[in-house]
Chain A
């Protein structure tokens, strides 16, 4: 039962990305072709509101449901890990039209072909850990 709240957030996240068509291959293509504001609006407005939310975390106005202060962990430092990792991710995002969240959402939508993408994604995550000591970070 203590996990039910995460199921609920996932549900809201999944319905939002479905209804805003973020899970559509076409919308990703259109975004990278710079032919519509839609995706930029979705991400941009989320981030603008997110910046305010983070501000209230730092002010300690907003806390966890248990009253604890919210500290957002820093992302790992390093130019190459973020730039190269990001670029490889972007290639896949534009090819398959899916990032990790939408993969699961499309599975729920009943898209059989996404099983191949999901298998590839796990394989990719595995491969990274297997070869990471050889990569620049």
Chain B
């Protein structure tokens, strides 16, 4: 039980993710989270504006249930499996973030500067949250997959398309982290 309550090392987490990928195939489906964004749009009547969303969303119910599992997993993990919420970041990361104005990096899972309820109601805070969402939603559907569909399933399948997509993930991520974030936080 003690192992369960500690932060999991990468060599425990990676195999668990591979197991999840296997289980989805075993149960006749394919692991992939971002397609749910389209399913929910279709459910909400987006077909009124864009024909693509006129598909029968009910055929993807299994994936919505998977997402429900994610939400439940987050709840259970937070309530009972994570007594210590600190993140053991590298000291260089903590220093870099303090220079950006993000204090106490790693004292909890998320920086208050971005994710506190107060931050939602500031212009800059709202803009960061909504932009991050739009970019992830737009990009994952443009590339037909996210970190699960391309990153785990696609790379495991030695798909060239997924390799290109993951290279893209890193081009975008490096540009944001090294060039744009310093600009945003010093602004």
Contacts and interface: CB of A to CB of B under 8 A. Distances in A.
Given A10-B73, A29-B177, A125 B140 contact: yes
Interface residues of A, number: 115
Contacts of A33: 92-93, 96, 177-178
Nearest to A114: B115
Contacts of A108: 70-78
A36 B93 contact: yes
Contact of B176 (A13, A45, A94, A117): A94
B156 A94 contact: no
Interface string A20-58: 111111111111110111111111111111110110010
Contacts of A5: 23, 27
A100 B148 contact: yes
A88 B142 contact: yes
Interface of B: 4, 7-31, 33-34, 36-38, 40-41, 44, 46, 49-50, 52-53, 61-63, 65-78, 81-82, 87, 89-90, 92-93, 96-97, 105-106, 109-111, 114-117, 119-120, 125-126, 128-159, 161-162, 164-178, 180-181
